[in-house]
Amino acid sequence: MEPLFIAMAIIAIAELGDKTQLLALMLSSRFRRPVAVAAGMSCALIVMHLLAAFGGAWIEHFIPDRLLKSVVAIGFLLIAAWTVLSRARPSDTASVRVGAHSAFVTSLIAFVVMEMGDKSQLATIGLAIAFEPAWQVGLGAAAGGIVVNLPVIWAGWKLERRIPHRLFHWASAILFSIIGLWLLAEQVILYGASS
């Protein structure tokens, strides 16, 4: 059980202040379905960290890091555009509730995309190389991410009740734009210098 607890501690620390927490905050405040968001996040983190533990090195041979990071960056920009284009009308801002299923599926997909090539996933790959069995590393890493992000989901749900939805809406769009542009700039700087 030692690999499980080591992975849990390391990934929990790696997730502090990470963009995953920002996504958790945005989704819980937007959908007002904290349980569905938490369930989607938990499923995504379990799947992604188990994949990282079992197949991270194998996947890396087929998907170049540059392509993976570029896809994630473009995904953030698309989420930002979707957020702006789906701007709620003033009469709709008081209640932006979606079904639990929609909140779950959206959260699941968003967290899967967010975790692709993320530092916590790379850390899980490294931990799986250093410790066995891989399933303990994967589950420990997922547990670390879940433990750190659950309070953020609760906070987003509580804050949404006190802060106008429109503010969260625009803050989310700006945040996703910044993350997407940052990741694209990182690719240009890293791979532009090597050309």
Q: Inform me whether the pLDDT recorded for 47 exceeds 80.
A: yes
Q: Inform me whether the pLDDT recorded for 175 exceeds 70.
A: yes
Share of the chain above pLDDT 90, in %: 18
Share of the chain above pLDDT 70, in %: 81
Under the banding of pLDDT at 50, 70 and 90, the label for residue 13 is confident
pTM above 0.85, yes or no: no
Residues in contact with 13: Cβ distance below 8 Å, sequence separation at least 6, in sequence order? 144
Q: Inform me whether the pLDDT recorded for 9 exceeds 70.
A: yes
User: Considering only 38-42, 58-62, 120-124, 139-143, which range has the smallest mean pLDDT?
Assistant: 58-62
Q: At what angle do helices 134-160 and 119-130 cross, to 10 degrees?
A: 160
Peptide bond between residue 133 and the one before it cis (omega within 30 degrees of 0): yes
Token duo for residue 142: 């997922």
Write down the domain spans for the chain: 2-194
Q: Inform me whether the pLDDT recorded for 57 exceeds 70.
A: no
User: Considering only 27-41, 50-64, 86-100, 157-171, which range has the smallest mean pLDDT?
Assistant: 86-100
Give the other-Cβ count within 10 Å of 169's Cβ. Answer: 20
- State pLDDT tens for residues 73-84: 787 787 677 767
pLDDT at res. 103? 85
Q: What's the chain's average pLDDT? A: 79
pLDDT at res. 95? 37
pLDDT at res. 142? 94
pLDDT at res. 91? 42
The arithmetic mean of pLDDT across residues 48-55, rounded, is 88
Sign (positive/negative) of CA torsion 187, 52, 157, 165?
Answer: positive
